[in-house]
Amino acid sequence: MLNQIILVGRLTKDIMINKSEKGVKVATVSLAIPRSFKNADGEYDTDFIDCVAFENIAENTSLYCKKGDIVGIKGRIQSRIIEKENKKEYTMEIIAEKITFLSSKNNGEEEN
């Protein structure tokens, strides 16, 4: 059996590190990924996908990447149960196991 996903897209926002209740560093990495085909109106739609990164992966991504940069994410899909108002809800999330920095939006030029 295999649970693996590979995504390549642009960061939709700068990475912010938070700490879980147990003190684990965690960040949500949001990607914009254009589809490879046109919709009925002749335009390319874009999917927005959130991934969760932990500890060193989260920290390094927040240090070296910013909004607009292209990254590759290798990870897995994980289901989780969230309790809301005494009801159990199941949610799916992508856990980033490796993030590769592919290119910067400004191609190495310094911002002023």
pLDDT, one tens digit per residue, over 30-82 is 999 999 999 999 999 999 999 999 999 999 999 999 999 999 999 999 998 98
Q: Residues 6 or more apart from 105 whose CB is under 8 A from it?
A: 10, 66, 67, 68, 69, 70
Q: Establish if 70 belongs to a structural domain.
A: yes
pLDDT on residue 108: 52
pLDDT on residue 107: 57
Q: Establish if 12 belongs to a structural domain.
A: yes
> What's the sign of the alpha-carbon dihedral 53, 62, 29, 69?
negative
pLDDT on residue 109: 52
Beta carbons of 80 and 91 less than 8 angstroms apart: yes
pLDDT in tens, 89-108: 999 999 999 999 998 776 55
First to last CA, the chain: 49
25-38/5-11 β-pairing: antiparallel
Q: Establish if 94 belongs to a structural domain.
A: yes
pTM: 0.82
pLDDT on residue 44: 94
Query: Structural domain of residue 57, as residue ranges?
Result: 5-36+43-103
Binned at pLDDT 50, 70 and 90, residue 112 comes out as: very low
87-103/44-54 β-pairing: parallel
| Domain tally, the chain | 1
Q: Establish if 109 belongs to a structural domain.
A: no
Q: What CATH number corresponds to the domain at position 97? A: 2.40.50.140
Q: Residues 6 or more apart from 42 whose CB is under 8 A from it?
A: none
